[in-house]
Amino acid sequence: MPAVLSARIRAAVAAGCAAWTTFACVPRGSSRAEASADAGKGGSQADQTTVALASAGRDPTRRAAKDPALDEPWSDDFERTTLGEDWYAESAVWTVSGGQLCGRGARNHPVWLKRRLPVNARIEFDAISASPDGDIKVEAWGDGSSGATGVSYRNATSYLFIFGGWKNRFHVLARLDEHAPDRLQLVVDPQGTDPRTRPVIANTRYHFKIERADGHTVRWLIDDIEMIRFADPAPLVGTAHDHFAFNDWEVPVCFDRLVVTPLGS
C-alpha cells in the first residue's frame, strides 16, 4: 500500500478514535497464545492442510476468481452432514454437524463462501463460542482463497471482525491486519453499562450483521446493537476483495443461518 494512502487511513481512523472515546487504537502485538505457538512452530492441522493443497497442485486463488457472482439473496442453514460444494476450506478442522458449521484450532485458516460478494451487501448469521475465551472471528470482502501464512494474521485480504478476541478482552474491526495499530476496537468491560463492551458468554448464540451500503462504510452489529462503524477512505473492493469467510484461532466455534443480501450499487 502506498505510504500516502496508508497515512490517510491512519489519519481517518485516528479521527474516529478521537471522536469515540470507547474505541482504542492499539499497538501491534501477538496474543499470548499466538506467541507461544510462534515459539513452537510445530505446525497445526490447519497448516498441514494448506501444505497438502499446495502439494496437490490446487490453485485456490484462480478458483476464487471464477466463483459465481452473488446478485440475489443467498442463504445456508447447514442442515446436512458435509460442508458441500459452496464452501472452500483452508483447513480440515471445518465440519458440519448438528445443523451448524463448526471448527476448532483453525489458526486463521478460514472457510470461504464460494460466491463473489457485491461491493454493497448485508451478511447475517448466528455464532456461538463454546469457550469463556470468546474469540468469534469472521472475514468480509477478502480474496476467497487464502489464510494466514504465519502464526499472526498480518496478511489478511479482508475486513476482520473479532468478537471477544485475545481471551475476551477486545471486540475488533481490523483492515487487512488484525494486529494493526490503526484497528478499531472496543475494550471489554464485564462491569460496564455499555452493551457493546460486554464479554462473549460461552455457549450463547449471537446474531451478527455486517453491512456496507455506500461503497465504503462498514458497519458491524451484534444482536442489532451497532458495535463499530468504519468509513474506509480506501475501501476493499473488486478482485481479491469480494468473498466472505468464517474463521477461528483456537477455541471451538459454530456458525448457522447465514444470509447474504446484495444491497445494490
Report pLDDT digits (tens) over 37-87.
333 333 444 444 344 444 333 455 577 889 999 999 999 999 999 999 999
pLDDT at 108: 97
187's enclosing H/E stretch is: strand 184-187
Residue 265 three-state SS: coil
Domain count along the chain: 1
CB 138 within 8 A of CB 161: yes
pLDDT at 264: 79
pLDDT at 25: 45
pLDDT at 155 > cutoff 80: yes
Closest Cα partner for 77 from 110, 111, 116, 124?
124
pLDDT at 265: 62
Q: What are phi and psi of 14, to 5 degrees?
A: -60, -40
What is this structure's pTM? 0.81
pLDDT at 14 > cutoff 50: no
Here the CATH number for the domain that contains residue 258 is 2.60.120.560
pLDDT at 194 > cutoff 80: yes
Closest Cα partner for 249 from 153, 172, 174?
153
Flag the least confident range among 53-62, 97-106, 134-143: 53-62
Residue type, 175: R
Dihedral sign of CA atoms 242, 8, 25, 40 in order: positive
Q: What gap in Å lies between CA 11 and CA 182, rounded to an integer?
A: 9
- Domain assignment of residue 198, given as a range: 3-262
CB 189 within 8 A of CB 24: no
pLDDT at 59: 54
Long-range contacts of 2-6 (CB under 8 A, 24+ apart): 5/234
Pick 60 or 214 by higher pLDDT. 214
Q: Tell me which residue has cell 472452500.
A: 88
Q: What gap in Å lies between CA 225 and CA 197, rounded to an integer?
A: 11
pLDDT at 28: 36
pLDDT at 101: 98
pLDDT at 135: 98
Question: Which alpha helices (H) appear in the chain, and where do they start and end?
Answer: 3-19, 32-40, 45-55, 60-65, 165-168
